[in-house]
Structure 1
């Protein structure tokens, strides 16, 4: 694990996002910690990585988390082999943990109202920032990392659109937003002018004159959700909710895929599965095809 810093340099050169680099290095460090705690040599081979994966599953980690940790080790092993640091990549062909087909229920309208009400409390700067973030994510379906990386110069409040410079897979796109979200962002931007870092281009700034990171966004929204009484909250739930609300309002699947930055239809199904029957029932009532 002594070459992690060199790998980080390589990942940056390959233009991997900060969130991806963090995910990869977290996986490596967890593997190293497990090996040290158990006295197992940290060899990058199938048997050792499978033992590590089994350990994570025994701890109750989600299969998706285990698969992410495996991917970190596979990417690192491949890089070591490419760089000539190891004779061969012994993780080629390693089978990933089987994912559960989980159904994620979107936020209800009452939960959305409770979350927004929670955001409106406390210090004005933080209240306006958190309200704008929640409204933006709920309307556009942008990922947490994409939202955290927004810039002042990339948001056009008059036209109602924001540029996501680097989405998942390195793809950028422009997402539209409506007047209510625009008003919330405008209120925040006006309050932002008094911040110590107001001259920087990062849209979201932290409390007490500090920058605002991806982790800061997670922490801020979780605190708001707890105050709103939403126990099952994770920032990614806003993306699920946005996808459901789009289709429930009659939006097209192609439009949703473009806005959310998906290139595969199976991702749309995954994010909107929970309420698919309810939407189908509403659509059937509107169509009223039993009337001849």
Structure 2
């Protein structure tokens, strides 16, 4: 058993990705891990003479990445992939020891993701008003993600058999951590989904099991979903629009409407209640500000 070069590790990466597929990690996760490890290996070929995956090498890479302007959250995500790869290599006796098992990610400033206002949500829906396939699909997509507080990957992995308009229920087969759940939606979303499904029947790939179809290809991809969100956000005058804002907004709207925290936790597929505070931070700040103005404690 010897220290591995970046080229050795590039070959072993293929085996680890097969292992992840066996463990039923999502394709998005596998692709992301492959990309992030590839970035490290490319850097290691050029910038270090230390054994690849040594603690010194990985720490230097993280520092260089942040000095180049990467956010701590980005550095942490990339480190997570490399750390998982290193753990597997050690378990498989492909490297002498896992030197980065306890290497901590950089501290991350927790940013408050602002929830969309009701006016902005309505603007997104208005941006989809039209009779084209894309218009009908995008309205249904936005409504379902908002109301059901879905993750992006959960959304694009839905199949036709997972959505029941008669009961107003959708089944997420594999949420984060491989956990499935059922989520409910109301009449407005049902109507939008029905309009989309009628348009979908005319798609040349209508026989595919995927619920969401791109205009020219098959199942809508993560990149395609992101493109839709940016396009519709721009049409609605919303800057920095991305799919995850719909999840934050859905959680905030749940709280504002008086929904229970237990119900929100179940609907969003969170394993602990701490996520409720994180995802509803912006709306709670607004509530606190409104309460402060009502209390008027600055008056003496």
Where does structure 2 lack aligned partners over 5 or more consecutive residues?
A: 1-9, 294-300
Alignment partner, residue 110 of structure 2: 101
Q: Write out per-residue CA displacement over residues 225-256 of structure 1, whole angstroms, 9 at most, x where no aligned residue.
A: 12222112121010000000000000011100
CA distance in 2: counterparts of 1:211 and 1:273, whole angstroms: 33
Alignment partner, residue 27 of structure 2: 18
Alignment partner, residue 131 of structure 1: 139
TM-score by length of 1: 0.92
**Distance of aligned partners of 1:204 and 1:260 in 2 relative to their CA distance in 1, 3 Å threshold:** same
- Number of aligned residue pairs: give it: 285
**Distance of aligned partners of 1:169 and 1:105 in 2 relative to their CA distance in 1, 3 Å threshold:** same
State the 4+ residue runs in structure 1 displaced beyond 3 angstroms: 36-42, 279-285
Alignment partner, residue 62 of structure 1: 71
Q: Decide whether the 8 Å contact of 2:114 with 2:282 is kept in 1.
A: yes
2:189 pairs with 1:206: no
Pairing 1:32-111 to 2, within 5 Å after superposition: 32-38=41-47, 43-111=52-120
Between 111-120 and 171-180, the greater mean CA deviation after superposition: 111-120
Between 160-169 and 261-270, the greater mean CA deviation after superposition: 261-270
Choose which of 258, 265, 289 in structure 1 pairs with 2:273.
265
**Distance of aligned partners of 1:272 and 1:68 in 2 relative to their CA distance in 1, 3 Å threshold:** same
Alignment partner, residue 289 of structure 1: none
CA distance in 1: counterparts of 2:266 and 2:124, whole angstroms: 27
Alignment partner, residue 167 of structure 2: 159
Where does structure 1 lack aligned partners over 5 or more consecutive residues?
A: 286-292
Choose which of 206, 218, 225 in structure 2 pairs with 1:217.
225
CA distance in 2: counterparts of 1:40 and 1:114, whole angstroms: 54
* Alpha-carbon distance, 1:37 to partner: 4.5
2:152 pairs with 1:144: yes
CA RMSD of aligned residues (A): 2.0
* Alpha-carbon distance, 1:209 to partner: 4.5
Alignment partner, residue 30 of structure 1: 39
**Distance of aligned partners of 1:283 and 1:59 in 2 relative to their CA distance in 1, 3 Å threshold:** same
CA distance in 1: counterparts of 2:99 and 2:129, whole angstroms: 53
Q: Decide whether the 8 Å contact of 2:53 with 2:86 is kept in 1.
A: yes
TM-score by length of 2: 0.89
